[in-house]
Amino acid sequence: MEKIIDENKQGQSLIIDQKKGNKRKLFIESYGCAMNFSDSEIVASIMANQGFNTTNNLEEADLVLVNTCSIRDKAEQTVRKRLEKYNAVKRDHNPKMKVGVLGCMAERLKTKFLEEEKIVDLVVGPDAYKDLPNLLAEVDEGRDAINVILSKEETYGDISPVRLNTNGVTAFVSITRGCDNMCTFCVVPFTRGRERSRDPQSIIEEVNDLWNRGYKDITLLGQNVDSYLWYGGGLKKDFEKATEMQKATSVNFSKLLEICAKAQPKMRIRFSTSNPQDLTLDVIETMAKYKNICNHIHLPVQSGSNRILKEMNRLHTREEYFELIDNIRRIIPNCAISQDMIVGFPTETEEDFQDTVSLMEYVKYNFGYMFTYSERPGTMAGRNMKDDVPEETKKRRLQDIVDLQRIHSEIKTKEWLGKTLEVLVEKQSKKSENQWSGRTQQNIVCVFPKGQYKVGDFVNVKVTNCTSATLIGETVGLSENN
Binding positions for ligand F3S, rule: CB under 6 A: 179, 181-183, 186, 188-189, 223-224, 275
Which CB sits closer to ligand F3S, 263 or 315?
A: 315
d(CA 325, CA 348): 24
Beta bridge pairs of residue 478:
459
Least CB distance to ligand SAH at residue 374 (A): 4
Q: Which is nearer to ligand SAH, 381 or 447 (CB)?
A: 381
* Nearer of residues 35 and 145 to ligand F3S, judged by Cβ: 35
d(CA 338, CA 299): 6
Site string for ligand SAH, 25-54 (x = CB under 6 A): --------x---------------------
Q: Which is nearer to ligand SAH, 90 or 298 (CB)?
A: 298
Are the C-beta atoms of residues 122 and 98 closer than 8 Å to each other?
Answer: yes
189 touches, from ligand SAH, ligand F3S, none (C-beta below 5 to 8 Å by class): ligand F3S
Report what 37 binds from ligand F3S, ligand SAH, none; CB cut-off 5-8 Å by kind: none
Residue 188 interacting with ligand SAH (CB under 6 A): yes
Chosen from ligand F3S, ligand SAH, none, partner binding at 356 (C-beta under 5 to 8 Å by type): none
Span from 38-46, 181-189, 310-318, 324-332 in contact with ligand SAH (CB under 6 A): 181-189
Q: Give the shortest CB-176-to-ligand SAH separation in angstroms.
A: 10
| One of 282, 371, 469, 470 touching ligand SAH (CB under 6 A) | 371
Which is closer to ligand F3S, CB of 294 or CB of 341?
341
Q: Which of residues 270-289 bind ligand SAH (CB under 6 A)?
A: 273
In this chain, which stretch among 38-46, 131-139, 184-192, 246-254 interacts with ligand SAH, using CB under 6 A?
184-192
Within 10 A of 239 (CB to CB), how many other CB atoms are there? 15
**Is 302 a binder of ligand SAH (CB under 6 A)?**
yes
Distance CA 296, CA 368 (A): 12
Cβ count near 429 (within 10 Å): 20
Residue 122 binding partner per list ligand F3S, ligand SAH, none, with a CB distance cut-off of 5 to 8 Å that depends on partner kind: none
Q: Is the dihedral of CA 468, 470, 476, 481 positive or negative?
A: positive
Shortest distance in whole angstroms from residue 312 CB to ligand F3S: 8
Find the binding residues for ligand SAH in span 403-462 (CB under 6 A). Answer: none
CB 345 within 8 A of CB 381: yes
Question: Is 122 within 8 Å of 145 (Cβ atoms)?
Answer: yes
Map residues 223-252 to x or -, x wherever contact with ligand SAH holds by CB under 6 A. Answer: xx----------------------------
CB of 218 to ligand SAH, least distance (A): 16
Among residues 38, 40, 64, 72, the one that binds ligand SAH under rule CB under 6 A: 72
- Please identify which residue in 373, 436, 448, 458 interacts with ligand SAH, judged by CB under 6 A: 373
**Any idea what the Cα angle at residue 192 is, between residues 191 and 193, rounded to 5°?**
100
Provide, rounded to whole angstroms, the least separation between the CB of residue 223 and ligand F3S. Answer: 4
Question: Is residue 340 a contact residue for ligand SAH (CB under 6 A)?
Answer: yes
To the nearest whole angstrom, how small is the minimum distance from the Cβ of residue 348 to ligand F3S? 17
Least spacing, CB of residue 159 vs ligand F3S, in Å: 23
From CA 243, how far away is CA 184, in angstroms rounded?
A: 33
CB of 182 to ligand F3S, least distance (A): 6
Site residues (vs ligand SAH, CB under 6 A): 33, 71-72, 185-186, 188, 223-224, 273, 300, 302, 340, 342, 371, 373-374, 376
